[in-house]
Homo-oligomer: A and B are copies of this chain.
Amino acid sequence: MKRLTLRDIEAIEVGAAILGTGGGGNPYYGKLQLFEQMKKGGVVDVISLDELDDDAWVVSLGGIGAPAVSVEKIYQGEELCRAVQALERETGRKVDALISSEIGGANSMKPMLTASQLGLPIVDGDGMGRAFPEMQMTTFSIYGHQSAPSAMSDSHGNTVVFTHLIGEIWLERLARACVVQMGGTAGIAEAPMAGVFVKRFAVPGTITQAMTLGYAVKDANRDNRDPIAEICRRESGSVLFEGKIVDLERFMVAGFTRGKLQVEGVNGFSGDHATVDIQNENLIFRYNSEVRCSVPDLIVILDLETGHAITTEVLRYGQKISVLGLPCHPLLRTETALRVIGPQAFGYPEVVYRPLAEHPAHP
């Protein structure tokens, strides 16, 4: 068990934004709320998967909504407490530990805040190892967990329990329809899982991963080393492109932020062109019209100078960016997983997923 410090939280903020691949919401507000909680004496205790009892009752949780909305409609702070409590009432059993449904972006912070508020440990791991836009896109759902009963609550206190669902996609459909009515953001806690299932199917160690990554970027900036090279080294990633944003489509549709980014190359990429397709997260990277990286691998957009992640909702014309490709966790690229989180699942029938290492390197 490790108790996190304020510095650790700062580092997780930086690392989780990178793992968010543009989405998952900005972790900044969540960090501030967690700081307030810690100043009042709250603690955040992280336990590893190994420390989890096989028969512990573990709830996966996070915010649901569009990142572009979460900038203006701030998380009230107790949405997920109400959701977890509604689940406990529904199942008649106390929860033993919480785990983030997605480590990328704001959902790194919210589950830690909830764990601290409820006096529960948070498990070092998550259901995505990154961020994805839809509810059924967790390793938990992919590998057989049934999400009902799940509970969601909004900033006002409206609370909905999905007591029976005939398939994982139905949580996404119904919860998404509700969150649009709720103003675009809410918290959702999914059906409790046994510890033994979580140990096998969580993406392991991702709180530590985000924190280590964040410290590395901060240290590199402090020491005037290249933070981007540091990220690539730690995550076995590579620089896919460097350039300037010359066009940006971004709009809200059916509760999602969708859009497309056009980038003109600079430095070694001068004269070349790249695009990134977005659904909350960065989905498809094309280099001179050729797909060079796609979901489930991570497409990360960073400030070219500082190496800090730029999330979807703060992208803007003229920014100089570096686009990185980072390989996803092996749990995300099995045949079973690709049916749920591969390019086809996002509406790209023509894109065949090829792991990052199999794409040609930049000449």
Contact = CB atoms under 8 A, between A and B. Distances in A.
Interface string A154-180: 001111111111100010011011101
Interface in A196-227: none
Nearest to A82: B164
Contact of A161 (B161, B166, B182): B161
A161 B158 contact: no
Contacts of A122: none
B165 A163 contact: no
Contacts of A174: 158, 160, 178, 181-182
Given A177-B180, A180-B177, A165 B161 contact: no
A159 B164 CA distance: 5
A87 to B, nearest CB: 10
A323 interface: no
A86 interface: yes
Contacts of A160: 160-163, 174
Contacts of A176: 181
Interface in A276-330: none
Given A177-B177, A180-B177, A164 B158 contact: yes
A160 B173 CA distance: 12
Interface string A178-190: 1011100000000
The residue in A82, A162, A181, A182 that gathers the most chain B C-beta atoms within 10 A of its C-beta is A181
Interface of A: 82, 86, 89-90, 151, 153, 156-166, 170, 173-174, 176-178, 180-182
Given A158-B164, A161-B162, A177-B180, 17 more contacts: A82-B164, A86-B164, A89-B163, A153-B164, A157-B164, A158-B162, A158-B166, A158-B170, A159-B162, A160-B161, A160-B162, A161-B161, A173-B181, A174-B182, A176-B181, A177-B177, A177-B181
